[in-house]
């Protein structure tokens, strides 16, 4: 049952069994290194320097229904893109920034839709009973990857961008979850229960070349939120152990097997939670969310595992860090539930901006590229 939006929208409430699972064994064919250490927080340093990007899309519920909105990064324009009594979520702008794929329950079932960036020409793409979610565009915009429960368990599907030729790529009697399309669109990273425990796998787009990527030494271990590096050679993911977690990277081209370090435990003996590893567009840094010091903050770390830098000046309440297309800014959600705010911060934590005051909850956001730089200041009331 859906209770509220969490940092990944409503997805984990529909599949609560994903949280708390365990993985066993060692890493196979991979190199893995922990990225997290303890450091302090920066003081806010307001600046009028602005990101070279144009639009952020997000979901919010000012009237009780979850709808899709957009806001320009100069703070001048905000628009409601959907208006239905149903839930809208799972936003994914197309690679060319002209369309948005999203999930809606407006027809009494969770289906995938697509619309133009201005909210017009809304079209339903899936029509089969069951939950269809997590749409991901191919790099050329020709196809969409998604996951579905339509056949009784969670499988990974692909379809043309117009909704035709929907194909089940996994076809197993167990659940496959959290698919991530490689940057070149040729491989899929995902989690599966096919070996009796949640493990990371990778396969080619036609289902061939299946390989197990990550297993954990620990009976309570887990590998979650896997994401590709921009060059497709590495992945970042959350590793859990004994109620705590950390961010790790894995080199897909390496043959060495390395056990997870165990030095990411909270010294205060309280559970530590990490979320949302996100690679910078050039692959040189990873942003993630951690509650290691009592509140959720964004940290940035170089891919060579140097000391993580805490960059957010206020606690992160929802979502994972979202890099701007040029890698100069990170967007995140903060503030109390009745007045969420979209914040922007640079990777050094020295420049902070408030972009959008929703006066309501915000559950997720995505950055849409723009061609020309703009300036950002604190929004005036509309």
Tens-place pLDDT, residues 321-340: 999 998 999 999 988 888 88
Hey, where are the domains in the chain?
7-368
Instruction: Dump pLDDT digits (tens) for 267-288.
Output: 233 456 777 789 999 999 999 8
Q: Which of the four pLDDT bands, split at 50, 70 and 90, describes residue 225?
A: confident
Burial level of 15, CB count in 10 A (0-12/13-18/19+)?
A: middle
What pLDDT is attached to residue 126? 97
What pLDDT is attached to residue 215? 57
Range in 34-43, 60-69, 251-260 the model is least confident about:
34-43
Q: How many CB atoms lie within 10 A of CB 167?
A: 14
Mean pLDDT of the chain: 77
Would the pLDDT of 179 be above 90? yes
Would strands 123-124 and 111-116 be described as parallel, antiparallel, or unpaired? antiparallel
What pLDDT is attached to residue 186? 95
3-class SS shares of the chain: helix, strand, coil, % to 5: 5, 45, 55
What pLDDT is attached to residue 112? 98
CA distances in angstroms from 314 to 136, 170, 297, 357, listed in the order given = 30, 41, 7, 15
Which residues, in sequence order, are CB contacts of 20 under 8 Å at separation 6+? none
Q: Which of the four pLDDT bands, split at 50, 70 and 90, describes residue 49?
A: low
Would the pLDDT of 262 be above 50? no
Q: Tokens for 71?
A: 């806001």
Which of the two residues, 271 and 102, has the higher pLDDT score?
102
Would the pLDDT of 263 be above 70? no
Q: How far apart are CA 167 and CA 170, in angstroms?
A: 9
- The span from the first CA to the last CA of the chain, in angstroms, equals 35
Q: Quick check: 237 and 223 in contact, CB under 8 A?
A: yes
Q: Quick check: 349 and 311 in contact, CB under 8 A?
A: yes
What pLDDT is attached to residue 248? 78
Would the pLDDT of 226 be above 60? yes
Strand partners, 140: none
Would the pLDDT of 378 be above 70? no
What pLDDT is attached to residue 270? 43
Q: Which residues of 244-281 are buried (b: 16+ CB within 10 A; e: fewer)?
A: bbbbbbbbbeeeeeeebeeebbbeeeeebebbbbbbbe
What pLDDT is attached to residue 214? 64
**Which H/E stretch holds residue 238?**
strand 234-241
Region 147-159: mean pLDDT is 95
Q: Quick check: 178 and 146 in contact, CB under 8 A?
A: no
Range in 44-53, 60-69, 123-132, 246-255 the model is least confident about:
44-53
| The domain made up of 7-368 is a member of CATH 2.60.40.10 | no
Which of the two residues, 226 and 22, has the higher pLDDT score?
226
Would the pLDDT of 173 be above 50? yes
Q: Which of the four pLDDT bands, split at 50, 70 and 90, describes residue 67?
A: very high
Q: How many CB atoms lie within 10 A of CB 242?
A: 12
Instruction: Dump pLDDT digits (tens) for 288-307.
Output: 888 767 778 898 888 766 67
Q: Which of the four pLDDT bands, split at 50, 70 and 90, describes residue 135?
A: very high
Sheet holding 78-80, edge to edge: 78-80, 67-72, 55-60, 362-368
| 3-class SS of residue 11 | helix
214-234-51-136 Cα dihedral, nearest 10 degrees: -60
In residues, how long is the chain?
Answer: 382
What pLDDT is attached to residue 314? 84
Which of the two residues, 264 and 349, has the higher pLDDT score?
349
Region 236-255: mean pLDDT is 73
């Amino acid at each position: 049952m859906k209770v509220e939006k969490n940092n990944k929208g409503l997805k984990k409430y529909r599949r609560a069994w994903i949280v708390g699972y365990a993985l066993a064994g060692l890493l196979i064919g991979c190199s893995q290194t922990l990225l997290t250490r303890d450091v302090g927080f920066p003081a806010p340093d307001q600046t009028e320097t602005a990101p070279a990007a144009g639009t952020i899309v997000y979901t919010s519920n000012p009237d009780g229904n979850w709808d899709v909105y957009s806001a320009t990064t100069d703070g001048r324009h905000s628009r409601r893109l959907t208006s239905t009594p149903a839930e809208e979520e799972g936003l994914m702008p197309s690679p060319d920034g002209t369309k948005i794929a999203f999930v809606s329950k407006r027809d009494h079932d969770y289906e995938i839709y697509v619309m133009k960036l201005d909210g017009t020409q809304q079209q339903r793409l899936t029509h089969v009973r069951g939950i269809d979610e997590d749409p991901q565009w191919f790099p050329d915009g020709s196809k969409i990857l998604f996951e579905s429960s339509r056949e009784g368990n969670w499988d990974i599907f692909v379809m043309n961008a117009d909704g035709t030729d929907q194909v089940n790529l996994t076809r197993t009697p167990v659940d496959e979850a959290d698919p991530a399309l490689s940057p070149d669109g040729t491989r899929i990273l995902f989690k599966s229960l096919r070996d009796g425990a949640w493990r990371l796998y990778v396969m080619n787009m036609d289902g061939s070349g299946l390989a197990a990527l990550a297993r954990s030494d620990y009976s309570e271990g887990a590998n979650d939120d896997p994401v590709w590096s921009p060059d497709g050679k590495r992945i970042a993911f959350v590793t859990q152990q004994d109620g705590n977690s950390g961010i790790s990277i894995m080199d897909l081209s390496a043959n060495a097997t390395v056990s997870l370090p165990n030095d990411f435990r909270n010294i205060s003996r309280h559970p530590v939670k990490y979320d949302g590893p996100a690679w910078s567009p050039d692959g040189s840094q990873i942003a993630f969310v951690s509650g290691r010091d009592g509140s959720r903050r964004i940290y940035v770390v170089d891919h060579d595992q140097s000391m993580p830098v805490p960059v957010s000046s206020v606690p992160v309440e929802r979502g994972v860090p979202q890099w701007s297309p040029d890698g100069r800014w990170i967007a995140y959600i903060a503030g109390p539930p009745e007045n969420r705010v979209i914040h922007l911060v640079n990777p050094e934590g020295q420049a902070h901006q408030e972009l959008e005051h929703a006066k309501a909850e915000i559950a997720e956001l995505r950055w849409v590229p723009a061609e020309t730089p703009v300036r950002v200041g604190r929004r005036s009331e509309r």
